[in-house]
Amino acid sequence: MSAVSLRKMLNKKELPSLLHNLIYQFNIAIDVELVDGTKLISIGEQTVENRYPIEVSGEIIGWVVGEEQATLLATLLSFLAKQEAEKKVLAKELLERYQEIDLFDDISTQLTTSLDTRQIAQLVLQELGQLIESSAGMILLLSSDATAFEIIAEFGVFFDRSQPQPGKGIIGNIVQSNRAELVNDVQADPRLEGQKNVSAMICVPLRAKERVLGAIAIGTAKTDSYKAEHLKLVSIFASQTAIAIDKAVLYEQSTQAAVQAKAQTQRLQQALHELQLAQTQLIQSEKMSSLGQLIAGVAHEINNPVNFICGNLKYVAEYAQDLLHLLEKYQKFLPVAPPELESELDNIDLEFIMQDFPKLLDSMKLGTGRIVEIVQSLKNFSRHDEAEMKAVNIHDGIDGTLMILHHRVKADVHRPAIEIVKDYAKLPLIECYPGQLNQVFMNILANAIDALEESMENSEVRSSPQSPNPNPQITIRTKALDQQWVVIRIADNGPGMKEEVIRRIYDPFFTTKDVGKGTGLGMAISYQIVVDRHGGMLKCRSQPGEGTEFWIQIPLNCAFVDATEEHNCTSASPIHTTESSPTPDADGFIPSTAPMLKPTDLLSRHTQLIQRLSQHSPDVEGASPDQIYQMFQRHPISLKLYATLLSWFCCFNPTQIRH
């Protein structure tokens, strides 16, 4: 069927009138017929049967019947038909170009929205397979060292057993030359290696930023199937694909780099955290070890004479009782004493001695018993010979700590006594590290006493007869929880703390006390002992003006918890972080978190230590490094703290620090 319809052409608005004018000028009769003889136009009465063809590209689409002058009309109609055919071809090409532009725009949009190389490659092959006749296709990526190809998408069977290699075969050579090629007879190509399942193929390298990423190739089983426009189409697809794949590869590399950086940051944070805890534990252990040795030594030295006195008091009482009994017998048999003896008896007041001597012995028993209790409390607190885990009565540790702090809670000329309220539940023996738990009790109780003393000092100015100050009080409660845990709650009615202070009390070297009055290590060590060492929980709740309460929760059997945590550590690496602050629980307690120091915190601690040193040595500003070191030598704890801070500032590998 012809691309031009003669009937439609003659039905145009101006053409029939033009034909009538020409025929009138020629003064002839004509008929215009289709190829099958159907008349379209008939003017005048025919006297001859001459037929002149109307042709388009060698194809006859109609006839002009008439005299010799009718040949001019046939030529004119052929020219008009040719123009009509050219218009149709041009319109078709324009439509195809528009469709291609629309297709490329759609594909470009899809490619830019994807960051997965395989998804991009599969989409491109799918579109190419619909636009160009092909039985196989694939997209290859070149390795970073340019020694191998990776097929990231394909359809059909391009190769039987092997895949292309850089520099070998048709595809390998095309990629190496970095030039797109159309091969319409694959089997005749001298670069052919191995059996191929295609007879014609197009291969275009994927180029991005002056480097070759890989190649895109399509093929068909028919030879001479592809033309230059097919090569151009695949090249356009290749340029878009290369840009999208390059972007996806860069995104994947940046993602991997971000993951590696995050993992490295977590490892550094973990290393710094472990270093902080290890060094603070070292400092506190040295201090507590010295204190424990001192207490244990004093208790041991007191224990020997006390045992001697306690052991002999029993016999002294028996001997005294025997002597008094004997004296009564003498008085019975000798009711009247000689004058010399009577005078001596009046001088010594024998009757009073006989009444008071048993009381004196009883008071000595009470006193020595009290000394024995004090010695036992010192031993319970120091636990110098009990570094390993053992079953103990937790109340003994609390009472021993209170015994050590007794001199701080009793009344003096400046304040009343601090009342200690005990609400002990019946608890079983607890498997724990008793000496370390005693350190926790000491730290928390000492802080409570400090807070109460500060509160009483500040309230002396504000107090009035109408609003008397409440009596200072510390309440200690214990209870069993779920038959697996023991809870010790220590509360005071002191000034309390703000929430931002509560969240920092476990930071090493953080303290709210004046410079020189605290190291800021007590609560950091308490956190490590309760949470890390015993697998327990340490919480705090406080409000300004409403006092402070600590919740210490430890398991009945710490050995079981240690085994569980060790098992969990093998499956997941615990990375402590304080990026998100814990929220208070239903009772208002804020759980403790692993303390992590920021550079600003380290600078603050550095400044505090220098200020503390300047209080002891006012000329520190003009001192040389050697003189500063000698000043620190006179204050070993400050020297240890300062060395720790310097190591955190300067050490690139904190885990290598040793003391």
Residue 331 vs residue 599, higher pLDDT = 331
Beta partners for residue 591, in sequence order? 539
**Buried-exposed string 558-572: b where 16+ CB fall within 10 A, e elsewhere:** beebeeeeeeeeeee
- State CA 590 to chain mean position distance: 21
- State CA 483 to chain mean position distance: 34
Strands 485-492 and 548-555, sheet pairing: antiparallel
Residue 480 vs residue 131, higher pLDDT = 480
Find where tokens 């599969």 sit: 122
Provide the pLDDT confidence category of residue 597 given band limits of 50, 70 and 90: low
Residue 584 has pLDDT above 50, yes or no: yes
**Strand residue runs (E) in 168-281:** 181-183, 200-208, 211-220
Q: Give mean pLDDT, residues 258-271.
A: 83
Provide the pLDDT confidence category of residue 558 given band limits of 50, 70 and 90: low
Report pTM: 0.42
State the pLDDT at residue 421: 94
**Spatial separation of the C-alpha atoms in residues 120 and 123, rounded to whole Å:** 5
Range ranked top by mean pLDDT from 395-399, 505-509, 604-608: 395-399
How long is the chain?
Answer: 659
**Spatial separation of the C-alpha atoms in residues 125 and 319, rounded to whole Å:** 114
pLDDT tens profile 417-447: 999 999 999 999 998 888 888 889 988 998 9
Provide the pLDDT confidence category of residue 57 given band limits of 50, 70 and 90: confident
CA atoms within 13 A of residue 341's CA, in its CB half-sphere: 7
For residue 315, what are its two tokens? 């016999």
**Spatial separation of the C-alpha atoms in residues 83 and 653, rounded to whole Å:** 84
Provide the pLDDT confidence category of residue 657 given band limits of 50, 70 and 90: very low
Percent with pLDDT over 90 in the chain? 9
Residue 658 has pLDDT above 60, yes or no: no
Residue 106 has pLDDT above 70, yes or no: no
State the pLDDT at residue 656: 36
Kindly report the backbone phi and psi dihedral angles of residue 32, in degrees, each rounded to the nearest multiple of 5, phi listed first: -110, 120
Which is it for the CA torsion 154, 157, 158, 159, positive or negative? positive
Exposed, middle or buried: residue 190 (CB in 10 Å: 0-12, 13-18, 19+)? exposed
Provide the pLDDT confidence category of residue 577 given band limits of 50, 70 and 90: very low
165: Cβ–Cβ under 8 A, 6 or more apart, which residues? 148, 149, 172
State the pLDDT at residue 652: 39
Vertex 492: Cα angle to 489 and 497 (nearest 5): 100
Contact 85, 4 (CB under 8 A): yes
Q: Cα Rg for the chain, rounded, in angstroms?
A: 52
Q: What is the mean pLDDT of the chain?
A: 76
Number of neighbouring beta carbons within 10 Å of residue 345: 13
3-state secondary structure 72-95: HHHHHHHHHHHHHHHHHHHHHHHH
Strands 51-56 and 59-66, sheet pairing: antiparallel
pLDDT tens profile 468-500: 557 899 999 999 988 889 999 999 999 998 888
Q: Give mean pLDDT, residues 333-351.
A: 77
**Spatial separation of the C-alpha atoms in residues 617 and 212, rounded to whole Å:** 70
State the pLDDT at residue 567: 44
State the pLDDT at residue 574: 37
3-state secondary structure 283-351: HHHHHHHHHHHHHHHHHHHHHHHHHHHHHHHHHHHHHHHHHHHHHHHHHHHCCCCCHHHHHHHHHHCHH
Residue 109 has pLDDT above 80, yes or no: no
Find where tokens 């470009």 sit: 108
Range ranked top by mean pLDDT from 281-290, 375-384, 552-561: 552-561
Which one-letter amino acid corresponds to residue 417? Answer: A
Beta partners for residue 477, in sequence order? 423, 489
For residue 81, what are its two tokens? 């038909």
Residue 527 vs residue 106, higher pLDDT = 527
pLDDT tens profile 202-241: 999 988 777 888 888 888 888 888 888 888 888 878 887 7
Contact 94, 69 (CB under 8 A): no
Kindly report the backbone phi and psi dihedral angles of residue 197, in degrees, each rounded to the nearest multiple of 5, phi listed first: -100, 10
Residue 163 vs residue 398, higher pLDDT = 398
pLDDT tens profile 561-570: 555 454 444 3
Q: Give mean pLDDT, residues 357-380.
A: 76
State the pLDDT at residue 579: 43
